[in-house]
């Protein structure tokens, strides 16, 4: 008897894109930046920011970003680079 080789179902490139997009949120992204907000003349507040959407995170060591759902990896948080809030938001206006 002949064995009929079944071809795997073809996946549309768009579907792969969506799947990759979904999977990428499950793969923890390293929190490696902090944003510095100036509160008073010589006083600053520091917040860790989401590596995906760059918003300041409400709490340290959150498992997921509450804005975009990105899973967060806090392994390198001590090495976080400090970015000035002006630089962070200023770049989007250029």
The site for Zn ion (CB under 5 A) is made up of 50, 52-53, 65, 67-68, 70
DSSP string, 45-66: EEEEB-TTT-PBPSSTT-SB-T
Cβ proximity to Zn ion, 31 vs 70, nearer residue: 70
Look up residue 69 and give its two tokens: 């759902």
Q: Do 58 and 66 meet the contact criterion of CB atoms below 8 Å apart?
A: yes
Tell me the closest approach of the beta carbon of residue 51 to Zn ion, in angstroms.
8
Tell me the closest approach of the beta carbon of residue 58 to Zn ion, in angstroms.
11
Tell me the closest approach of the beta carbon of residue 61 to Zn ion, in angstroms.
15
């Amino acid at each position: 008897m002949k064995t009929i080789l079944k071809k795997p179902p073809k996946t549309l490139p768009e579907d792969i894109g969506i799947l990759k997009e979904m999977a990428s949120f499950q793969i923890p992204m390293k929190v490696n930046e902090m944003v510095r907000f100036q509160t008073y003349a010589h006083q600053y507040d520091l917040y860790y920011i989401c590596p995906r959407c760059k918003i300041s995170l409400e709490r340290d060591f959150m498992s997921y970003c509450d804005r975009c759902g990105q899973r967060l990896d806090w392994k390198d948080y001590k090495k976080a680079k400090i970015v000035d809030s002006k630089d962070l938001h200023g770049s989007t206006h250029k």
